A and B are shown apart, each in its own frame.
Chain A
């Protein structure tokens, strides 16, 4: 196979071998560290963010719709665990497929896997609802409308403790506001003991499984008819429409798929962080996730994985532990943790100006930079 970008050709099996090696290392990773070192905790969080990054990548990277309200799906996914996996609705008494310990608690308790599906479905619907008004809008207006939706949902979460739910008796509110819903049930998978906050390894492996699942879906979608339609849409909406790409359906699918991933990750984080409160759902979080995928490379699956891991670890490790007292050492009176969002903003600006294609660019974007039109590309689209 001829190399398209002037690099020596890599045989196809090398890529697969590399992927298998990375996955193997990822699986045995927790055995290298004790709980106390905090690496397992940080990596679990990072993997959950990878899932979100991959979700946002579908909307922004593939379909080219800038979504600044992605935090909404984190909120909805996490709220799903708050509603269906905790004692929040203390008057209700619903237990579905839960373990011995949880069975005796008041409230609504579903098995985590069921809630995961709930959260995904709920977010898909929310994604479509948020997507509908943006269909006829131009790119930058889409950004503002999604931002507005994100903020509206945040206000609802904050004010939710004053909203009484209709049709149910008793003292049932929408959310617990800033105080937060906690505790949330720990994940309870079939055939194994319920997870605890003492042993983080099962959490890590669950997050890893979610990442692999989402990764698989993401890659398959990208190479599918739908994925090609998204990319066509991103490159030129008018041309795509005239070639028969159904704009409405394609855009809404992008929102729905992206939102579903966000909801899945949100549900995991709800259970893992053991609380669902309004302060988790700031606008800054949307930018945090956006910065991840821009750092890695818009549209590039592996770029997004690397970018998300990198930025997440920068946030949990590099800034607080390594660089935190750098400003005070050079005579400035602040901690670096205080300005972490400023640092993410700086990264956004820097990446956009110096290397807009990201650390690991999408192959298609690299090919675009290459002048020659490759014959095999034409064949691929007809296959």
Chain B
């Protein structure tokens, strides 16, 4: 619990001068210092015990690959928050349904451990497309059913329906595969070592996470910054009224945003299923909160921030899982979440939403 002991003092200080300087310094670097606490502590411990940094380096690398999956989910939160300022609480469940769909689909097309590698790769590509379409469609449908009717209602109303949708989908997952974690065939032999570089073991699972995440996030960034529809998304995020006056169909743009976010979550779902080789109905709740923390950490509404936040949260989770105790992980991540929200609600990079200006 290093997180809570090294918390910077609360910023609201009225006197200028030294106090204000300290405050400015803390708000700039306090969060970064806080994030470095865990890795630094365990790096020192490794140096003392083993004489090298292989242990912590492995943790951090696993954290990055794990964080790549979280980043894919976080992108969905940040896109949606950027455009309608709603925490899409059901987003984690969309990711979970993505996992379930993937496992069901590759079972249907007959992928198994005995299939040849070429068949597996082609089959998984097909599964990826199906998972992305199902999750994207589901997310769009959720927006249509649960959020659109409440667009002019007080802000808490859509948040409450979002929580409701999240519970509905969780129970769909519960009925689909039962209440306990189910293992799925380890199609890619996830834990098989590919190469070891300076003491870091790189597994197939790690490669998979990067191979899926990097092109998708790159494509998404290109779409949002270059494409016509991406421009419409950014315009709607900045000012929906003005965007409407400029002839942008705001409803379609919002639907598109949910579709894109859902597709990323679907891809994350497939990757998670192959990476962890167990899936269950509660994975969405946990991963969703991690991803939301990541999105806030990076500055909500900010694509680049969500990816960086995802990688950081992945590292924190991995270190906590391996070095402290997996059952403490949620508490540690949430402690970070609270500290970030209190001391730097605009995130590491700064947010791009209307309220932040």
**Could you tell me which A residues sit within 8 Å of B by CB distance?**
60, 64, 66, 68, 133, 136-141, 143-145, 147-149, 151-152, 155-156, 158-159, 283-284, 287, 290-291, 294, 334, 338-339, 341-342, 344-349, 352-353, 356
Alpha-carbon distance A148/B286, docked complex (angstroms): 11
Give the residue of A152, A342, A352 whose beta carbon is less than 8 angstroms from that of B167.
A342
A-chain residues with CB within 8 Å of residue B171 when the two chains form the complex: 338-339, 341-342, 345
A-chain residues with CB within 8 Å of residue B197 when the two chains form the complex: none
Of chain B, the residue at the smallest CB distance from A159 is B327
A-chain residues with CB within 8 Å of residue B158 when the two chains form the complex: 352
| Chain B interface residue count, Cβ-Cβ cutoff 8 angstroms | 44
Quick check: A349 and B146 within 8 Å, CB to CB?
A: yes
Top-6 shortest CB links A-B:
A342-B171, A345-B167, A348-B164, A148-B334, A155-B331, A349-B164
B-chain residues with CB within 8 Å of residue A348 when the two chains form the complex: 160-161, 163-164, 167
Alpha-carbon distance A133/B340, docked complex (angstroms): 10
Say how far B78's CB is from chain A's closest CB, in angstroms.
14
Quick check: B155 and A151 within 8 Å, CB to CB?
A: no
Alpha-carbon distance A151/B150, docked complex (angstroms): 28
Quick check: B170 and A294 within 8 Å, CB to CB?
A: no
A-chain residues with CB within 8 Å of residue B85 when the two chains form the complex: 140
B-chain residues with CB within 8 Å of residue A347 when the two chains form the complex: 164
Give the residue of B153, B331, B345, B355 whose beta carbon is less than 8 angstroms from that of A151.
B331
Say how far A259's CB is from chain B's closest CB, in angstroms.
17
Alpha-carbon distance A379/B281, docked complex (angstroms): 55
Quick check: A159 and B328 within 8 Å, CB to CB?
A: yes
For residue B95, CB closer than 8 A to chain A, the reply is no
Alpha-carbon distance A139/B337, docked complex (angstroms): 16
Quick check: A141 and B167 within 8 Å, CB to CB?
A: no
Total number of A-B contacts with CB less than 8 angstroms?
Answer: 127
Knowing A151-B334, A342-B167 touch, does A352 contact B150 (C-beta < 8 A)?
A: yes
Of chain B, the residue at the smallest CB distance from A340 is B171
Quick check: B175 and A144 within 8 Å, CB to CB?
A: no
A-chain residues with CB within 8 Å of residue B150 when the two chains form the complex: 352-353, 356
Of chain A, the residue at the smallest CB distance from B90 is A345
Knowing A143-B87, A151-B330, A290-B160 touch, does A339 contact B355 (C-beta < 8 A)?
A: no
For residue B165, CB closer than 8 A to chain A, the reply is yes
Give the residue of B160, B166, B179, B337 whose beta carbon is less than 8 angstroms from that of A144.
B337
Say how far A68's CB is from chain B's closest CB, in angstroms.
7
B-chain residues with CB within 8 Å of residue A136 when the two chains form the complex: 342, 345
Q: List 18 A-B contacts (CB under 8 A).
A: A66-B159, A133-B341, A140-B159, A141-B341, A144-B292, A152-B331, A287-B163, A290-B160, A290-B163, A339-B175, A344-B164, A345-B166, A347-B164, A348-B160, A348-B164, A353-B149, A353-B161, A356-B150
B-chain residues with CB within 8 Å of residue A145 when the two chains form the complex: 337-338, 341-342
Say how far B181's CB is from chain A's closest CB, in angstroms.
17
- B271-288 vs A, CB cutoff 8 Å, 1 = contact: the mask equals 000000000000001000
Quick check: B175 and A66 within 8 Å, CB to CB?
A: no
For residue B168, CB closer than 8 A to chain A, the reply is yes
**Could you tell me which B residues sit within 8 Å of A by CB distance?**
85-87, 145-146, 149-150, 153, 155-161, 163-168, 170-172, 174-175, 179, 285, 289, 292, 296, 325, 327-328, 330-331, 334-335, 337-338, 341-342, 345, 355
A-chain residues with CB within 8 Å of residue B170 when the two chains form the complex: 341-342, 345
Quick check: A139 and B156 within 8 Å, CB to CB?
A: yes
A-chain residues with CB within 8 Å of residue B174 when the two chains form the complex: 338-339, 342
B-chain residues with CB within 8 Å of residue A144 when the two chains form the complex: 87, 292, 296, 337, 341
Interface hub of A144, A156, A284, A344 (most chain B Cβ within 10 A): A144
B-chain residues with CB within 8 Å of residue A141 when the two chains form the complex: 296, 341, 345
Of chain B, the residue at the smallest CB distance from A139 is B155
Say how far B224's CB is from chain A's closest CB, in angstroms.
23
* Further contacts, 18 of them, CB under 8 A, given A133-B342, A352-B158: A66-B156, A133-B341, A141-B296, A141-B345, A143-B159, A144-B337, A145-B341, A148-B338, A151-B330, A152-B335, A159-B325, A342-B170, A342-B171, A348-B161, A349-B161, A352-B161, A353-B146, A353-B150
Quick check: A352 and B338 within 8 Å, CB to CB?
A: no
Say how far A74's CB is from chain B's closest CB, in angstroms.
18
Of chain A, the residue at the smallest CB distance from B331 is A155
Alpha-carbon distance A149/B338, docked complex (angstroms): 8
Of chain B, the residue at the smallest CB distance from A150 is B334
Knowing A155-B330, A341-B171, A353-B150 touch, does A346 contact B164 (C-beta < 8 A)?
A: yes
Say how far B348's CB is from chain A's closest CB, in angstroms.
16
Of chain B, the residue at the smallest CB distance from A162 is B325
Quick check: B175 and A155 within 8 Å, CB to CB?
A: no
Of chain A, the residue at the smallest CB distance from B145 is A349
B-chain residues with CB within 8 Å of residue A149 when the two chains form the complex: 334, 338
Alpha-carbon distance A341/B163, docked complex (angstroms): 11
B-chain residues with CB within 8 Å of residue A137 when the two chains form the complex: 341-342, 345
A-chain residues with CB within 8 Å of residue B153 when the two chains form the complex: 352, 356
Quick check: A341 and B167 within 8 Å, CB to CB?
A: yes
Alpha-carbon distance A352/B338, docked complex (angstroms): 28
B-chain residues with CB within 8 Å of residue A139 when the two chains form the complex: 155-156, 159
Alpha-carbon distance A152/B333, docked complex (angstroms): 9
